[in-house]
Amino acid sequence: MTVVVVGQGYVGLPLAVRAVQVGHHVVGFDLDKHRIDQLRRGESFIDDIGDEDIAACLRTGRFTPTEDAAELAGFRVAVVCVPTPLRDGAPDLSYIEESARLLAPHLTPGACVVLESTTYPGTTEEVFGPILEAGSGLSAGTDFHLGYSPERIDPNNPTWHLQNTPKIVSGIDEASAAAVREFYDTIVDNTVPAPGTREAELAKLLENTFRHVNIALVNELAMYCHELGIDVWSVVDMAATKPFGFMKFTPGPGVGGHCLPIDPSYLSWQVRRSLGRTFRFVEIANDVNDNMPAYVVSRVTEHLNRRKLAVNGSRVLLVGLTYKRNSGDARQSPALPVANRLAELGAQLSAIDPKVTAADVPAGVELVECTPEVLAASDVVVILTDHDDVDWELVERHADRVLDTRNRIRAAGVDLL
């Protein structure tokens, strides 16, 4: 069948590639012409999809990257995978709304439209569907199928990827749910039907809120452990030996990526709007995780002070700028506010990161290679992201003044978070 995937980013591109691989004709739509031009040249811009994957899709003749809305015509399934950022603490659904307006003129009886973007419960039926109906003259559930299936992309996860991660599927009625499931059964190994779109929308928020809250728990524990002189990493490791009732989460310099800094706030926003009260766990987790970069800077200051050095003028080497190990994704990375605050305090900043693109390097930070000279010349090395392809043995040998927020190295002169 002809499938349109609106949004060719970290969620939409893997879906488009997988859909081509299983035999669908796929139109990959994105308003970013530079991104579309890259795809036309067979170039990928995300970790999980290689250039050869794009080239192979193009060779089939069944993959059409485009920024031209006219090419959306003729689809049987359309999937919307666009960003849903926060603006002043409230969800910005403008990308979802614009996607519906673009699809509506091309909507035909019997077609199926699925929203994958993370959002608050009710969006599919109360916002997305009515725009499709108004622009097409068709009725959702009567003339066309409408559903929601939350994305579960974990960039650069070596074990779980699009195909083998169970996929929640839902529709506004039984026929829509069946149509949504029929499509995703061609894409993934296992689909999980939800009672309705609101339950599916909220399940996604619960998944990310669960992780956000538990990371905040161990981050706050890390701060207390430092004051008490206790190794938080050994505490977490020991607790993780319990085979039931415990799931291991580890502390770090904050949270980043496209989900954790944003998605739980959707839940908090809706509870506040609909029920007139706050979702306390989310508010507390936001407070802890949002303040971790500032805490890291305070630990850098403490580390330098012990050697009678000020942050102002000190040479600080940051190891890792992306939000996640082995990923080139710097969206919402906690390393960025750490760098910005250190720069404001007058530090001379350089960074080692084999994954990051030059465009994501903060102003005032020099991207350097990992060499003995660079390491030895630094007043302090701050490990923010522990990519496997950093030469950690070299770091241990030549950097004896280290603040490690990821528990990557254990050596003399290393302070752990």
266 pLDDT higher than 90: no
Domains 2-194 and 204-289 share a fold: no
Q: Is 57 a catalytic residue?
A: no
CA distance 194 to 174: 11
- Report residue 86's pLDDT band, with 50, 70 and 90 as the boundaries: confident
Is residue 127 within 8 Å of residue 97, measured between CB atoms?
yes
Residue 111 in this model has a pLDDT that exceeds 80: yes
Q: Residue 364 and residue 218: Cα distance in Å, rounded?
A: 31
For the chain, give the secondary structure using H, E and C. CEEEEECCCCCHHHHHHHHHHCCCEEEEECCCHHHHHHHHCCCCCCCCCCHHHHHHHHHHCCEEEECCHHHHCCCCEEEECCCCCEECCEECCHHHHHHHHHHHHHCCCCCEEEECCCCCCCHHHHHHHHHHHHHHCCCECCCEEEEECCCCCCCCCCCCCCCCCCEEEEECCHHHHHHHHHHHCCCCCCEEECCCHHHHHHHHHHHHHHHHHHHHHHHHHHHHHHHHCCCHHHHHHHHCCCCCCCCCCCCCCCCCCCCCCCHHHHHHHHHHHHHCCCCHHHHHHHHHHHCHHHHHHHHHHHHHHCCCCCCCCCEEEEECCCCCCCCCCCCCCCHHHHHHHHHHCCCEEEEECCCCCHHHCCCCEEECCCCHHHHHHCCEEEECCCCCCCCHHHHHHHCCCEEECCCCCCCCCEEEC
Check the CA dihedral 330-336-339-343 and report its sign.
Answer: positive
Q: Is the pLDDT of residue 306 over 90?
A: yes
Q: How far apart are CA 331 and CA 263, in angstroms?
A: 14
- CATH architecture of the domain 2-194 equals 3-Layer(aba) Sandwich (3.40)
Asked if residue 386 lies in contact with residue 203, where contact means CB atoms within 8 angstroms, the answer is no
Quick one: pLDDT band at residue 284, thresholds 50, 70, 90? very high
- Asked whether the predicted pLDDT for residue 261 surpasses 80, the reply is no
Architecture label for domain 204-289: Orthogonal Bundle (1.10)
42-84 residue pLDDT tens: 999 998 899 999 999 999 999 999 999 999 999 999 999 999 9
The domain limits of the chain are 2-194, 204-289, 291-416
pLDDT tens, residue by residue, 171-228:
999 999 999 999 999 999 999 999 999 999 999 999 999 999 999 999 999 999 999 9
Given pLDDT bands bounded at 50, 70 and 90, which one contains residue 155? confident
**Percentage of the chain lying above the pLDDT 90 cut:** 87
The size of the chain, in residues, is 417
| Residues of the chain above pLDDT 70, percent | 100
Q: Confidence class of residue 259 from pLDDT cuts 50, 70 and 90?
A: confident
Q: Bridge partners of 383?
A: 319, 404
- 265: confidence class by pLDDT, cuts 50, 70, 90: confident
Mean pLDDT of the chain: 95
313: left (phi over 0), alpha (psi -120 to 50) or beta: left
CATH architecture of 291-416: 3-Layer(aba) Sandwich (3.40)
> What pLDDT score does 278 carry?
85
Q: Which one of the listed residues 112, 225, 259, 370 is annotated catalytic?
A: 259
Q: Confirm if 109 and 76 have CB atoms less than 8 A apart.
A: no
